[in-house]
Amino acid sequence: MRAAQIQGTTPNNNDSTIVITIEANEKTPLLGGAWKQNPSSGNCAQKLNGSGGLGDLKFCDFRVLGIAVLLVGGFTIATYLLVTESRLPSARFALDLVNRDVWTQTVIPLGKLLNDSKVLHILMVQTGGQICMELYSCMDVLREMQKIQGNAHGEIPYNFLIGGDGQTYEVRGWNHESGLSILPQQSSLVIGFIGNYTFVPPTDTQCTSALSIVNESMQRKKLHSSYQVFGLRNLSISHFDGEALFNRISKWQRFVTLLNVL
């Protein structure tokens, strides 16, 4: 078998010759011609000996197989994650709650204490009047409501209020009765939407906030697991009071009916 030779001279001695001998069947990227492709096997196999027999075959590019494995594996993982995701609850609730002591420093009686085990009803109602769209304007509206409606008998009659900014404002909170004497207060939480929603419905963000406070009430064990949702309409204002609001919440799974009061 003939050897390939690379000759040269050293920089300091013209008489010296360097000979590098490389056998033709050695594996080296510098001698691509030394590898004879097996024509019968296409591009994916090459003969390792020159005997003319079948010889040992080597797949020339395992990368194709590796990429195929990665693609199949990636597809399998993606399918698994998609199926897993579809089994999760469709809505994820993150409560953005403004505590009572943030928007008011006024000391007003908050009413009787609630018995958590008896709270079975969520009452949704609109406050009427002005809609607020940002934190400070919503706090101004709450303080104005407190000035007009609040009295020696207690705070304005809501447990929580939801502003047009999508934030939830604590009024009487989870620990005290709402103050609405027309309701069975020991078994109810009252959630009000700040503004008038007779013709224009609350936004998706506001509805999500309402569901968030309900979910948080469940998480804190302030609401019975078999709770029900009701709308509360004030007929003394209008027979269509809060119509757009009630059309929205009537699609909720736990919604029961609309209560009319005078």
For residues 28 and 20, is the Cβ–Cβ distance under 8 A?
A: no
Smallest CA-to-CA distance from 255 within 222, 199, 198, 210 is with: 210
User: Is 177 a residue whose pLDDT tops 70?
Assistant: yes
Smallest CA-to-CA distance from 173 within 161, 182, 164, 181 is with: 161
Number of helices followed by number of strands (H, E) in the chain: 5, 11
Where helices occur in the chain by DSSP H, the ranges are 62-86, 100-103, 135-149, 204-219, 243-249
Highest mean pLDDT out of 22-26, 30-34, 134-138: 134-138
Enumerate the domain spans of the chain. Answer: 97-261
Dihedral over alpha carbons 79, 81, 82, 87 (to 10 degrees):
130
φ, ψ dihedrals at 4, nearest 5°: -90, 140
CATH 3.40.80.10 fits 97-261, yes or no: yes
pLDDT per position as a tens digit, 26-67: 444 443 444 344 444 444 444 444 444 444 444 445 566 667
CA distance 217 to 254: 15
pLDDT per position as a tens digit, 56-113: 444 445 566 667 667 766 666 655 454 444 333 334 456 889 999 999 998 888 889 9
